[in-house]
Structure 1
Amino acid sequence: MTGKRSPHPQEARILELIDRGLTNAAISELLFCGPRAVRQVRLDHNRPPAPRSAWRHEHPQEQQIRQLLADDLTDAEISRRTGATPETVAERRRLMGLGRAPMPKAKARPHPREAEILEELRAGGTNNGIARKLGVDKVAVARIRDTHGIPTTDERQRTAQPPVEERWRQHTREVKDGHLEWTGPRATNSSGTPVLRVRGSWYSAAGIAFRMRTGRDPVGQVRPECDLKHCVAPAHVEDEPGRQAIRLQLRRLQGIPDPPTGTCPGGHDLAKDGRLDAALHQYCEGCKRDTSRAKKQATKTT
């Protein structure tokens, strides 16, 4: 006669998972024991067979599985970390509405001439120049540059340039009464507006002066409020709101009533489009804008 079968070393844990509704295969994978052993424990303790819908019960690592799914890991990686079957992970992915699992990223193979490309990059070569010299693809050169964090020629030039404020000061000259005259480049149109090239784009020198004084970007055009044309002294330039506020104060100091509100003859709201010119007379920016558009349209049709 054979003696009574000894209990499985993990019998208590197996029974706990059986009572939670896990299948034999899921328990076997989680506890690293054979499915037959799980089935035998189920029979020895008169537990019913696992239902076909056992996946509906929470997995012991349910919260971790859902967190890893939210972190966009692959089903295989989540299965490896939690011990859940790939089918269990895939079902949670479907229930969470996350779509298809991401494809694992393939590791890029080193370029056969990577050492030569790196040498040329560190010597200051451009992507196109290195590609022509070595007979390689410029996309591969750009990838190696990005992988090793080697800046491009433009990036090195921008880093080497002094701050915008310092470059702005290099193009100014102080004249009487605190005015600053611009000695740098100007717009090529008839206005002759002082400008400065910053990172490939042209900016108004008066706008830079305004930011230096106020610490914010201007609203509308920035122009000097002094008597020197194209003055760029930070204390003398104003944007549109500042200019209108100064002119309104001047009207009040001269005892001139505030300009009327309501709508202009053209139907524009003066609270939004009302402006004061240098002579402190009110005009409508909306009407001025409409007139300019009409002239441009007439020029196009003729």
Structure 2
Amino acid sequence: MTKPGPHPQEAQILALIDKGLNNTAIAELLYCGPRAVRKVRLDHNRPPAPRSAWRHAHPKERQIRQLLADDHTDAEISRRTGADVSTIADRRRMLGLGRAPMPKAKARPHPREAEILAALKAGGPDSSNTAIARKLGVDKHAVGRIRRAHDLPNTYERQRAEQPSVEDRWRAHTRQVDGGHLEWTGPRASGSGTPILRVLGSWYSAAGIAFRIRTGRDPKGHVRAECDVRHCVAPACVEDEPGRQGLRLQLRRLQGLPDPPTGTCPNGHDLAVDGRLDAKLSHYCEGCKRAKKRARSTT
């Protein structure tokens, strides 16, 4: 029995083996049997190809990998590169990127968008989403989407923008008196008579507003007038807790009195935190004062 000769495509098979293709891929390219490719590989002592190198790299392999890393859909990558969707899916699995993102559906314009937009831009008291939806017979949520898409303020935002500022409201409730002081003519808290101001459902301290006008920052602690006029709201007369304690410490030093004690009080409160000076420049512990107030409320 004669020994069979070499395969007619042996040279081509060897060239593809050297490129790293496996037997199945070579058989598909040369239209021969995988067993014939395997025999040529064994006859010439060629090692088996790695499983990850069983096909040629795509001409746009780098672009495909970059688009996959940017989280594009397989259909979008196929449209940009011309690669088959199955090829892109194989690269996605090989890179461990998980499932392809779902394409986002494009929002269709509302059939009456022009009318809704005209009503929104017209403004007026009946320009709320509910009023426009009732007038045109559309869904109020659709009106809201069109409003957001065109950055048009809603009724509350427009009314809020048209409202006077807190500072302007504060000025409308003040009256100049002798000595540069300001008297509060607006509402007051019941019992204490503290000047207060209500703006868009929120309550503000009139002295706190005066403090922000003078300093440009929010106060710390209670804000009170340090002048002789009770409940004065002049910006130059009000101080918050740190400013008030600083002024009283300076007055105490000007009178030749020693600085307040440091350390802890007899009840263990830190005087650096709870130490205070009253209007008579006498030192006291705020922590002890709070404790006594709590004890009275529980009895």
Asked if TM exceeds 0.5, the reply is: yes
Tell me: CA distance 1:115–1:281, structure 2 relative to 1, closer, same or farther (3 Å). Answer: same
Query: Is 1:86 aligned with 2:95?
Result: no
TM superposition score normalised by structure 2: 0.70
Instruction: Select 2:143's aligned residue among 138, 141, 144.
Output: 141
State the distance in 2 between where 1:22 and 1:209 align.
82
Letter in 2 for 1:60: R
TM superposition score normalised by structure 1: 0.69
3-state SS of the aligned residue for 2:62?
coil
Alignment of 1:1-302 (within 5 A): 36=29, 51-54=50-53, 60-61=62-63, 64-65=66-67, 68-69=70-71, 73-74=72-73, 76-77=75-76, 80-81=79-80, 85-89=88-92, 91-92=94-95, 94=97, 102-124=101-123, 125-187=127-189, 189-296=190-297, 298=298
Q: Equivalent pairs: percent with the same residue?
A: 69
**What's the CA shift string for 1:28-86, capped at 9, x where partnerless?**
xxxxxxx959xxxxx9xxx998632249x9x53488447624xxx44554565566823
Letter in 1 for 2:289: K
Unaligned runs of 5+ in 2: 1-15, 23-27, 31-36, 38-45
Unaligned runs of 5+ in 1: 1-14, 24-34, 38-42
Q: CA deviation at 1:249?
A: 0.9
Q: CA deviation at 1:90?
A: 5.3
Letter in 1 for 2:162: A
Tell me: CA distance 1:162–1:93, structure 2 relative to 1, closer, same or farther (3 Å). Answer: farther
Q: CA deviation at 1:174?
A: 1.4
Q: CA deviation at 1:242?
A: 0.6
Contact 1:75/1:101 (8 A) holds in 2? yes
**What's the CA shift string for 1:184-225, capped at 9, x where partnerless?**
3333x3223223344542222221221221122211111111
State the distance in 1 between where 2:288 and 2:64 align.
66
Tell me: CA distance 1:22–1:102, structure 2 relative to 1, closer, same or farther (3 Å). Answer: farther
Q: CA deviation at 1:272?
A: 0.9
**What's the CA shift string for 1:220-259, capped at 9, x where partnerless?**
1111111112211111111111111111111111111111
State the distance in 1 between where 2:21 and 2:163 align.
66
3-state SS of the aligned residue for 1:261?
coil
